[in-house]
Amino acid sequence: MTLSDVKTALLTVTPNVGHYKVTKKTDKYIVWAEDSGAAALWADGQQQGQAISGTIDYFTKTEYDPNVQAIEAALNAAKISFKLESVQHEEETGYIHYEWIFEVEGW
């Protein structure tokens, strides 16, 4: 799985998916971004591959939003490794903010 697979999986949940920034701020939206190399595979003194990790942030104003499960189902279907990192309620905006860490094979 590659970074483009992350976007493709998230678009099955909602069309409101932004890479690094919000595309359209509504009551429900996703922002995702790669942020580091998680691991590298070396052979014969050359890098042969690497894993890229990043975050997926889902913002919703709906308690028990079914899109939370839909995001995880989409990532599972795409065989993208992930874990739920945190859930926060943002008092100022009223959003419930879900954050997942994902890892894929590279670019």
The total of structural domains in the chain comes to 1
Mean pLDDT across 74-91: 97
Per-residue CA distances from 43 to 38, 46, 49, 82, 107 (Å): 17, 6, 9, 27, 19
- Is the pLDDT at 28 greater than 60, yes or no? yes
Global pTM exceeds 0.85: yes
Beta-strand relationship, 17-19 and 28-43 = parallel
**Range of the structural domain that residue 34 is part of:** 3-104
Place of tokens 């971004």: 33
CATH number at residue 59: 3.30.2000.30
The mean pLDDT value for 8-33 works out to 95
Give the other-Cβ count within 10 Å of 46's Cβ: 7
Smallest CA-to-CA distance from 33 within 13, 49, 10, 15 is with 10
| Residue 100, pLDDT above cutoff 80 | yes
